[in-house]
Amino acid sequence: MGLDDNIHPWFAQRRRSEGEVLARGRSIPQCRAFVRGGVPTALRPALWAAALGSGEPGDQRSRGAFDRLCGDVKRRELLTDALVAGQGGC
């Protein structure tokens, strides 16, 4: 997940084990706290679905929650939007 993996080889395994437990428990606050520190690739769908409270990855409720979140993002204009889209410059 980053530099910690190179410094401490056990770090990635510990994050994966913790993530698996959280993904099964689906506690929204705990999953939100966990994802701030990076999520192992294989656990991203389950942990982000749990963190966003959107149901199991791939089910219709998850898709609806994801679509609502995308709509919210599109309605908010940020100063950095043009930079991220590659249209801005200094």
DSSP letters spanning 60-87: HHHHHHHHHHHHHHHH---TTHHHHTT-
What digits encode the pLDDT tens for the residues 17-43? 999 999 888 788 899 899 988 888 889
Stronger pLDDT, 5 or 41, i.e. the higher one: 41
pTM above the 0.85 mark? no
DSSP 12: H
Q: Which of 82, 62, 80 is nearest to 70 (CA)?
A: 62
Radius of gyration of the chain (CA): 16
Reported confidence tier of residue 90, pLDDT bands at 50, 70, 90:
very low
Q: CA-to-CA distance for 40 and 82, rounded, in angstroms?
A: 30
Q: Percent of the chain having pLDDT more than 70?
A: 74
